[in-house]
Amino acid sequence: MATLNRLKTMSDAEIQLWLRKVEHVGVGELVKGLLGADAVVRQCVLRNMSEKQRHLLSLTMERVGQAKLRNSELESGARSLANFL
């Protein structure tokens, strides 16, 4: 999602602050937003998480991704996350 592409230019410290802010949105929105984002954005986020968080989020994204969400759901998740950028 274009709205999350800004994460590519942010430092790791900035991404970690952003992750703390988006905790309030919930893991569901994080998963939907990241599923709609490109691989580079996902990697920027995942590398700034603990190993346990990264593993759990990856598993959740895999399971939710198999459900084939509608584009509108992915865009909604990305917009929710982008509000914190």
Rounded to whole angstroms, the Cα distance separating 5 from 63 reads: 24
| Domain layout of the chain by residue ranges | 2-82
pTM as predicted: 0.81
| Helices marked H in the chain | 12-22, 27-36, 39-46, 51-66, 71-82
pLDDT tens sequence for the chain (85 residues): 567 999 999 999 999 999 999 988 888 889 989 998 999 999 999 999 999 999 999 999 888 877 777 788 888 888 888 888 8
Q: Identify whether the C-beta of residue 3 lies closer than 8 Å to the C-beta of residue 59.
A: no
φ, ψ (nearest 5 deg) of residue 11? -75, 165
Largest CA distance in the chain: 33
Q: Which CATH number fits domain 2-82: 3.40.50.460, 3.40.50.170, 1.10.220.30, 1.10.10.10?
A: 1.10.220.30
Under DSSP, is residue 49 helix (H, G, I), strand (E, B) or coil? Answer: coil
